């Protein structure tokens, strides 16, 4: 399964280093070419000779120890790898990477990497839950790093809880699944909208909503992994876009409308996840509106309905919309499906704390044009993205494009 795949394993200091030895062995047995990089702390637990014997390759420990004078080792290794795995990843290396600190060979190489980087944390349960560590992991997630979540159980420190490095067999399975992904969308152009829009009241105020763009960015990431040519039209968000896609940044609903209409004819599949403002202030003040005694009344005007216009224009395209509802979800979703001429509506109840705006998970139901209804369990937004694109692929294969 992994024959010919080049994997750089970055090993940082913790008792779980012994699992990294097993991981090296299993990846090598699966056919991968593995090169290992160790931090000073990791070498306190296991001698580099162990990894050298298991990987049949040199082990890298020092930024200034150039084993080949023709190349700069940390840049060469960053370019060489098809996938980089940090396992075990300590709170220390997670913090350094999140803050752009490059003070050893591992952190220097990671900052130069262009391949996917996976982080497999291993630490004490209280360290794992510390606000600083949580913040650093959130930052890396926003940067596009992927996490292999730790397991729960007895920890070396004596505590029982979350913090155990995932078992080597499971990490290998994740790696195999990663490289086994079929390019279902090769040759297909996917247009995705994401995030909120903002409608100005004056130079310092605007109206908007709670959308963070996580769902749309997840769809864009999965689509490009499946070989699609992806165009992402994004409202204001703190997220970093996935590599290898075209990003069009907009702010207002009008700007998003113009960008979508400009690119829609190029798309085979259009997935509109953006939470656009339905109304905008009728008057946008040139200067800041000063507060006065008594109430302030704002008059609003309807914005353009992007999904409705796409439904009118679509020919040989698959059009998928989202419906964020707080009640009567099925009724509103099915009405939207018909009225806006979409092929599928993905609906979710945004009243739930674990679903909708700003969360890492989503609980959705997909309503299809053929009358079928697909209810998904609570899943990560990336998994939801996979299921949405799976349906899009089926419609594509059925000849709807």
Query: Which positions are annotated as active-site residues?
Result: 157
> CA-to-CA distance for 364 and 372, rounded, in angstroms?
14
Token pair for 9: 């394993």
Short-list 220, 310, 267, CA closest to 396: 267
* Phi and psi, residue 251, nearest 5°: -125, -55
Short-list 38, 56, 37, 21, CA closest to 171: 21
Within 265-367, where are the H helices? 306-313, 329-339
Strands 269-272 and 189-194: parallel
Tell me if 194 sits within 8 A of 216, measured CB to CB. yes
Q: How far is CA 152 from the centre of its chain?
A: 24
Per-residue burial over 138-176, b if 16 or more Cβ lie within 10 Å, else e, is ebbbbeebbbbebeeeebeeeeebbbbbbebeebbeebb
The side-by-side arrangement of strands in the sheet containing 59-60 is 59-60, 33-38, 6-11, 83-89, 116-121, 146-147
> CA-to-CA distance for 401 and 399, rounded, in angstroms?
5
> CA-to-CA distance for 198 and 268, rounded, in angstroms?
28
> CA-to-CA distance for 352 and 144, rounded, in angstroms?
26
Short-list 203, 238, 197, CA closest to 217: 238
Tell me if 7 sits within 8 A of 87, measured CB to CB. no
Token pair for 354: 């674990």
158: alpha, beta or left? (left if phi > 0; alpha if psi -120 to 50): left
> CA-to-CA distance for 40 and 34, rounded, in angstroms?
20
Rg of the chain over Cα atoms, rounded to whole angstroms, equals 24
């Amino acid at each position: 399964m992994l024959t010919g795949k080049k994997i750089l394993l970055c090993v940082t200091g913790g008792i779980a280093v012994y699992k990294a030895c097993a991981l090296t062995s299993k990846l090598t047995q699966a056919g991968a070419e593995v090169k290992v990089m160790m931090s000073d702390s990791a070498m306190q637990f296991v001698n580099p000779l162990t990894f050298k014997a298991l990987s049949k390759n040199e082990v890298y420990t020092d930024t200034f120890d150039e084993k080949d004078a023709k190349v700069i080792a940390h840049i060469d290794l960053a370019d060489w790898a098809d996938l980089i795995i940090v396992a075990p990843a300590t709170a220390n290396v997670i913090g350094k990477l999140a803050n752009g600190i490059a003070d050893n060979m591992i952190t220097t190489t990671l900052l130069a990497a262009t391949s996917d980087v996976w982080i497999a944390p291993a630490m004490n349960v209280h360290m794992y839950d510390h606000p600083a560590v949580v913040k650093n992991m959130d930052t890396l997630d926003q940067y596009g790093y992927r996490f292999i979540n730790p397991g729960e159980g007895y920890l070396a420190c004596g505590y029982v809880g979350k913090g155990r490095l995932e078992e080597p067999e499971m990490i290998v399975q994740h790696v195999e699944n990663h490289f086994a992904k079929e390019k279902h969308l090769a040759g297909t152009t996917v247009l995705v909208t994401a995030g909120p829009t903002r409608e100005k009241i004056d130079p310092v105020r605007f109206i908007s909503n709670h959308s963070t763009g996580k769902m749309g960015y997840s769809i864009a990431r999965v689509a490009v992994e499946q070989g699609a040519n992806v165009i992402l039209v994004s409202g204001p968000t703190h997220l970093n876009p996935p590599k290898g896609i075209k990003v069009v940044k907009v702010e207002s609903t009008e700007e998003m409308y113009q960008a979508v209409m400009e690119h829609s004819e190029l798309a085979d599949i259009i997935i509109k996840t953006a939470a656009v403002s339905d109304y905008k202030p009728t008057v946008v003040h040139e200067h800041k509106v000063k507060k006065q005694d008594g109430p302030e009344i704002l008059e609003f005007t309807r914005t353009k309905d992007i999904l409705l216009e796409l439904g009118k224009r679509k020919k040989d395209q698959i059009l998928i919309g989202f419906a964020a509802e707080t009640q009567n979800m099925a009724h509103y979703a099915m009405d939207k499906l018909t009225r806006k001429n979409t092929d599928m509506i993905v609906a979710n109840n945004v009243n739930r704390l674990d679903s909708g705006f700003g969360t890492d998970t989503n609980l959705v139901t997909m309503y299809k044009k053929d009358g079928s209804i697909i209810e998904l369990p609570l899943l990560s937004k990336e998994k939801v993205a996979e299921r949405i694109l799976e349906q899009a692929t089926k419609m594509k294969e059925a000849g709807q494009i």
